[in-house]
Amino acid sequence: MKAIILAGIALALAVDAFAVTLGLACSPSGLNRRQVFRLAFHFGFFQFLMPVIGWFIGENLLKLISSYDHWVAFGLLLVVGLRMIRESFRDENEKYRGTDPTRGWSLLVLALATSQDALATGLSLAVIGINIWVASLVIGLTAFSMTWSASKVGPLLGRVFGRRAELAGGLILILIGFKILFDHLGRG
């Protein structure tokens, strides 16, 4: 069951990177191979790193919150999911105008922005007891793969599914939060 939860989390977290890449790939010039690699590498690396940081924070807080940790996990996933849903309604073209977003500070900001949800998720992973190294590797590789995939299908699918993908990712995180909450309350 934890493998299914991890797969859902990894896919949901990768949706931000997927949506950003779709938006960038739909530009008139598209993305070249170097740009795709830079995006995929940075999105994957940050998606790997942030849950580890969140997990270490969560491990230290876990002793203090063990009696209501399921509520914390639910709350974090709910907030992250709702933020993803809200972002799905923003205009992608306004977010990413200007210079090459796959270089310098623009790339760093995009990588941090798409991975901040993974930090909060890392806190949740500490609560539900998933191995952080395996989870982070799965999350990072999923983000890398989804970024690469979005660059290939972006010109075709970006206009149709871009916003819906991020919306679906937010809903998946919220559903996982409810599952954690109901599983814990069912044991109590």
The mean per-residue pLDDT over the stretch 1-15 comes to: 84
Buried b (16+ CB within 10 A) or exposed e, 120-142: bbbbbbbbbebebeebbbbbbeb
- Its pTM stands at 0.69
In this predicted structure, the answer to whether residue 30 has a pLDDT above a threshold of 90 is no
The 10 Å Cβ neighbour count of residue 66 is 11
In this predicted structure, the answer to whether residue 81 has a pLDDT above a threshold of 90 is no
Cα Dmax for the chain: 56
Structure confidence at residue 9 (pLDDT): 87
Q: Where are the domains of the chain?
A: 2-187
In this predicted structure, the answer to whether residue 131 has a pLDDT above a threshold of 90 is no
The mean per-residue pLDDT over the stretch 170-178 comes to: 75
- Please report which confidence band the pLDDT of residue 180 belongs to, taking 50, 70 and 90 as the band edges: confident
Angle at 15 between CA 162 and CA 117, to 5 degrees: 130
The CATH number of the structural domain formed by 2-187 is: 1.20.1250
